[in-house]
Structure 1
Amino acid sequence: MPRRALSARIQALREQRQARQRQRVRRTVLRRDGMRCEVADPAGRSRWLLDFCGNDYLGLARHYAVSTALQDTAARVGSGGVASHLVCGHHAAHAALEREVADWLQAPAALLLGSGYLANLAVVQGLLGRDDVCVQDRLNHASLIDGARLAGCTLRRYPHADPEGALRQLRACPDGAALLASDGVFSMDGDVAPLRALALVALAQRATLYIDEAHAIGVLGDAGRGSVAAAGLDHTQVPLRLVTLGKALGVHGALLVGDADLIGHLAETARPYLYTTATPPALAAAALAAVQRARQDDWRRQRLAALVARFREGAQRRGLPMLASQTPIQPLLCGSEARALALAAALEAQGFWVAAIRPPTVPEGSARLRITLSAAHTEAEVDALLDALARACDRVAVDATAPSHAPPPALETA
């Protein structure tokens, strides 16, 4: 069979995405003012929208202490990371951030990486090999799945939030090392993993429990220590955690936090850590300032929890089909891609930016709007969104099969 040109394959795949309404279009943010942002469409036209699709849960992305730390450190040490951490790129700002996060989470050690995606690749690739098994929740973030593929280990997935399913999968692979991995808060559903039960499963099967705290850190638990702390667990029961800096902490990058031996091993062997330039020290200084604010500002979590409760009560009164989430991630189930896109377009016409999430990011038939709340939102803005959602659902319910000619909303955020 003759070789097919890559360009022909790309064109065919593009046509398939268009036919299934799964094309992705980037939107450009020109300016931000609080939770409002000026957004350009592909044609270059711009308008101001109220952002309900970002992950700035605590409202720290524009905090003056965070941006001042970034600017001051960049002025003193420059803009780049210079080299990898194990050559000459490890700066005092990196070390200070690692110490602060380890202290915050009451764990022995922490390791700074460039992103949560890289950190998940680093963990699975650095700890597992061909004869080992990685058991994961079916709704885990894509980076955890990709990490298992990179490691070459056996990947087993269990039904969502099902500890007994995790136990069955571990029992089916009795040989080699085992890693049991789960999101703490699931990025597309907003629900919390059954961590206490998973910890018991890991203990019984001599597996290492690894929890991705990307959407939990700063939001859940005492002092914002995340879903592990909220479940009453510590680093002896959950020896390895991922802390993402780009969600509630409003900066960029990620840290692996936990057992000193595990962290030390990853620092010496994990390819996504070894073979990449260090995070710019100025970003590490900004992240340190954000972590300190997140630790101290309990009022941000209290305000966020109050807004989540207000949104859910208002959604229930209006009969909106929300999934059962008590976190800032509030998904409205749409079913079809066409309905999700139409609802997102109807909200944008009313001045609200909400992402339409479609397969393969979520399972087939479960396209949704992923609504996210921030401590920086006001009660009036939340109420206005609820009213706009009710109007959009009324309109789209009548006109759901009509094609939408509006540009697709923004890329899904994880």
Structure 2
Amino acid sequence: MAVADWLAALDRRAELRAKAGLTRRLHPRAAADGVVDLAGNDYLGLAAHPEVVAAAAQALAAYGLGATGSRLIRGSTEVHHTLEETLADWLGTDRALVFSSGYLANLGAVRALVRPRTLLISDAHNHASLIDGCRISGAETVVTPHADVAAVAAALAAAPGRPAVVVTESVFSVDGDLAPLARLHATAREHGALLLVDDAHALGVVGPDGAGAVAEAGLTGEPDVVVTATLSKALGGAGGVVAGPAEFVRHLVETARTFIYDTALPPVVAAGVQAAVGLARSGAGLRAELAERAAHAVGRLRAAGLDVSAADAAVVSITAPSPEAATAWATACRDRGVAVGCFRPPSTPDSRSRLRLTVSAGVPRADFEHALEVIVECAP
């Protein structure tokens, strides 16, 4: 194919996406743009907390901007190891391993859990990183209906004697509902399977001392549970973590391509996240405020006649009539100084488009109330 033909084909695909209301655009923001942020994932308002910024600044002065290499070459610093020990202690696991993103952590974790003949059982609403992890692993994958424990049990029963891994988010990233983790774990254990839980949207938000939904479900330290999470949501930073048995983390260090061949998380970020973990662990008041705001948002939006998800954590999802309507709704909100998430296929696990609100305890209460009014007034 000639270059001109290739570029023309890309233009045609863009036109088809535009007709379907699926065009995506970047919207650069200034450092202080004055927008009420219900789109970002800074649940506890820690990204710009003075203690977090101070810790990052100190690491920046000591180490410079980047890690300068992969973790196995020159990229491991004392900051990384301290953070991993802190995360393992918080999550109640033997060990934890920090990756440069939550996406890479999930890819590495899923691949490392696969052995010959392994069956992966993946929830239909799982995040793209888990879906891609299943695909890249090359293992047979059964996609089960959302949060359907009976379907998981049936899939496991249909593959007796095979190694298996049940793969799920804890708080699902699109609708914000909570997976039935205790029942999933009991079902997995009954069939000798492992359970992989992406706790990204729960870490810092739910559970004892904010240790996440795995801890809330009473599964802390279980040897057949592996936990992943991003450090970019409630902790306000970047990076990802995989936590679990020491033997599994050793296996990741020695075999995970997304760990071995990737430049390490910058020490400046690791230091900021370390400070954020301390604030999150002691942030019971922040979590209580977050839960109250999420419940209030659901009540206010439902009272306005909108189709709103339950708020099991801090994600609130509102159904839009169409991709075009979702885009127009989000744009109208942004024009009035309120940032909301706009989720359309293929970013949604079904055919529905949504606005997604990520509630933050760091937004002033008056601004939060104003933002809810704007969302209602701009509704299609």
| TM-score, structure 2 normalization | 0.96
Higher relative contact order (CA closer than 8 Å, sequence separation 6+): 2
Q: Which amino acid aligns with 1:13?
A: R
Partner of 2:6: 6
Structure-to-structure mapping, 1:195-214, within 5 angstroms:
195-214=181-200
- C-alpha deviation, 1:349, in angstroms: 2.9
Question: What CA distance in whole angstroms lies between the structure 2 residues aligned with 1:369 and 1:177?
Answer: 39
Identity of aligned residues (%): 37
The answer to whether structure 1 residue 30 and structure 2 residue 45 are counterparts is no
Which shows bigger deviation, 349-358 or 195-204? 349-358
The answer to whether structure 1 residue 335 and structure 2 residue 335 are counterparts is no
Which shows bigger deviation, 332-341 or 214-223? 332-341
* Residues 254 and 260 in structure 2, CA contact (< 8 A), matched pair in contact too: yes
- C-alpha deviation, 1:333, in angstroms: 0.6
Structure 1 residues 364 and 159, CA gap change in structure 2 (3 angstroms): closer
- C-alpha deviation, 1:213, in angstroms: 0.5
1:90 to 76, 89, 104: 76
2:285 to 290, 295, 299: 299
- C-alpha deviation, 1:129, in angstroms: 4.5
CA offset digits 1:36-64 (Å, max 9, x no partner): xx2xxxxxxxxx42111010000000011
Question: What CA distance in whole angstroms lies between the structure 1 residues aligned with 2:335 and 2:97?
Answer: 44
* Residues 93 and 285 in structure 1, CA contact (< 8 A), matched pair in contact too: yes
Question: What CA distance in whole angstroms lies between the structure 2 residues aligned with 1:3 and 1:70?
Answer: 45
2:273 to 263, 281, 287: 287
- C-alpha deviation, 1:119, in angstroms: 0.5
* Residues 298 and 309 in structure 2, CA contact (< 8 A), matched pair in contact too: no
CA offset digits 1:366-396 (Å, max 9, x no partner): 1010011101123322221222222222xx2
Structure 2 regions of 5+ residues with no counterpart? none
- C-alpha deviation, 1:325, in angstroms: 2.3
- C-alpha deviation, 1:290, in angstroms: 0.7
Question: What CA distance in whole angstroms lies between the structure 2 residues aligned with 1:364 and 1:231?
Answer: 27
Structure-to-structure mapping, 1:264-283, within 5 angstroms:
264-283=250-269
Q: Which amino acid aligns with 1:74?
A: L
| TM-score, structure 1 normalization | 0.88
Which shows bigger deviation, 158-167 or 346-355? 346-355
Partner of 2:18: 18
Q: Which amino acid aligns with 1:207?
A: A
- C-alpha deviation, 1:263, in angstroms: 1.0
Partner of 1:392: 378
Structure-to-structure mapping, 1:129-278, within 5 angstroms:
129=115, 131-236=117-222, 239-278=225-264
Structure 1 regions of 5+ residues with no counterpart? 33-37, 39-47, 397-414
Question: What CA distance in whole angstroms lies between the structure 1 residues aligned with 2:53 and 2:316?
Answer: 28
- C-alpha deviation, 1:151, in angstroms: 1.0
* Residues 129 and 151 in structure 1, CA contact (< 8 A), matched pair in contact too: no
* Residues 37 and 363 in structure 2, CA contact (< 8 A), matched pair in contact too: no
Structure-to-structure mapping, 1:357-396, within 5 angstroms:
357-393=343-379, 396=380
Q: Secondary structure at 1:17's aligned position in 2?
A: helix
Question: What CA distance in whole angstroms lies between the structure 2 residues aligned with 1:234 and 1:202?
Answer: 16
Structure 1 residues 238 and 214, CA gap change in structure 2 (3 angstroms): farther
